[in-house]
Amino acid sequence: MMTAAAATAATTTTGKRNKKTSDGSSSSNDKSNHSNMWILALVALVAGLVTEPIWQIYRSKIVLNVPETPSQSWSDDRQLQTNEESSSTTSSTTSSTTTTSDNNSNNEFVLEESAKAQYSCSPEELNDFLHDFSVPGMHLVCLDGSSNLITMYYKSLRSHVLQETIEEAEGTRMIWLDVRSVLQDKLRLPAKSELKQPWALFSPTGERLELGEESLADASIDELFSLGMFLVMEGGQWVWPGVRKGFVRQIQLDETHNATLKTLSVRPLVFSVDGFLEDDECDWIQVTAEPHMTQSGVSLMDRDKGKPATDWRTSETTFLTEKTPEILEIDRRTSRLVRIPQTHQEPPQVLRYGLNARYDQHTDYFDPSLYANDKRTMQMIAYGRRNRMATVLWYLSDVAEGGETTFPEMDNGPPVSNKESCHVGLQVKPEKGKVIIFYSLKADGKFDPRSVHGACPVREGVKWAANKWVWNEPWTY
């Protein structure tokens, strides 16, 4: 495999496949009206019978959108315009989406037949996903259906390009098995493991492509080639590409909500989010939670058993476990934000920090080596297979002074004491309605120790916040 320093793509050709495919046949040219009616009926029947199973096999739950502001920011706002104009305009290049019903816990978009790919892997589009540093477990793949050329950006690194051309024998066509073999070989994708999520494919807008299963090895990949670009996540769940500090990305949450993601840090991966919560939602969460607030607890590591939680944490907490319409809406919106199903979320945790209240630096994931004697925690994380992957943190009030969320090891900063942590690295000031996302697991599914964070003491006022912990598997504990 080519080293990261190489800038020239290596090109190879795979062996030929000998699997036969069926050819379509045309009807005769009968000028009689009666025959034409039967021919039209037959065509309609064939279209109805053939098209639907292809989409069932594919089950590609994706949204196809063209980035319109490529170099400095990325946007899928075009989808909103498409939805608004779909009733009056028809075009072969127009994207179209539908959503699953509310009782579908995955809350994923469904690719319609009319939605054709529009990713050309142009330099402008690549700028919205590639990095100047390696991102373990995240790979960008471009497909050229006209030449069967697969271009891979290993670890999403701009300078590490690999290419492979799949040559088809006469009378054969490429299937998913061909592409999967190339990806596994060239990207060194990990083998299946009982303690690791299987790698998965995602559209550029973060929707899962159901082509990773071996049972679909013979599936047609016409739509994958039509898409033109996809990402491989070794950890099996979507992670928004950070690209670089300050990068801005517009995303669509639903037909009425858009959000803006801005990269605050790439190590650890932290985003600010605008457009996620309304002020009245912040107020409702506070009012609903206030009667139930109690002293915050912690999950004690084996070495800390018997110590009080206040040694680390002096806030108050409650969990909103009742599935009210308001909570269900926030759950749904969170799922759209991180592109991970609602089934993977814990109930919202609401936090109140009074004067001088704090939470010392910690990580949100559970390292099995530190909880080996805690049977409850080990069962909760399935002995290392599942874990907290991302945290969506909402600030519900303004704070006059203090209360920042601190990431002291940003940009490979050295470990520091709790007292020092509020003066180094990244500090996010609490402001009503502001939201941040930070990832505890990297794209390869491994822990990110640099996601260590804390809540600085409140010096004036009261800090209200809430968060959602999102797991890499359904949360059922």
pLDDT in tens, 402-428: 999 999 999 988 988 887 889 999 999
Dist. CA 97–CA 112, nearest whole Å:
6
Going from the C-alpha of 117 to that of each of 95, 203, 341, 446, the distances in angstroms are 8, 10, 24, 32
- Give the domain 253-471 fold: Jelly Rolls (2.60.120)
Q: How confident is the model at residue 212 (pLDDT cuts 50, 70, 90)?
A: low
- Extended beta strands in 275-363, E state: 294-295, 316-319, 349-353, 359-362
Dist. CA 79–CA 84, nearest whole Å:
9
Widest distance between CA atoms in the chain: 90
Q: Does the structure show a pLDDT above 80 at 366?
A: yes
DSSP string, 244-297: STT-EEEEE-SSS-EEEEEEEEETTEEEEEESS--HHHHHHHHHHHGGG-EE--
pLDDT in tens, 254-302: 888 899 999 999 999 999 999 999 999 999 999 999 999 999 888 888 8
CB 249 within 8 A of CB 261: yes
Encoded tokens for 25: 């046949």
Q: At what angle do helices 279-289 and 325-338 cross, to 10 degrees?
A: 120
pLDDT in tens, 421-463: 899 999 999 999 999 999 999 999 999 999 999 999 999 999 9
CB 39 within 8 A of CB 191: no
Q: Can you give the residue ranges of every domain in the chain?
A: 59-233, 253-471
Kindly report the pTM of this predicted structure: 0.76
For CA atoms 297, 467, 207, 260, give the dihedral sign.
negative
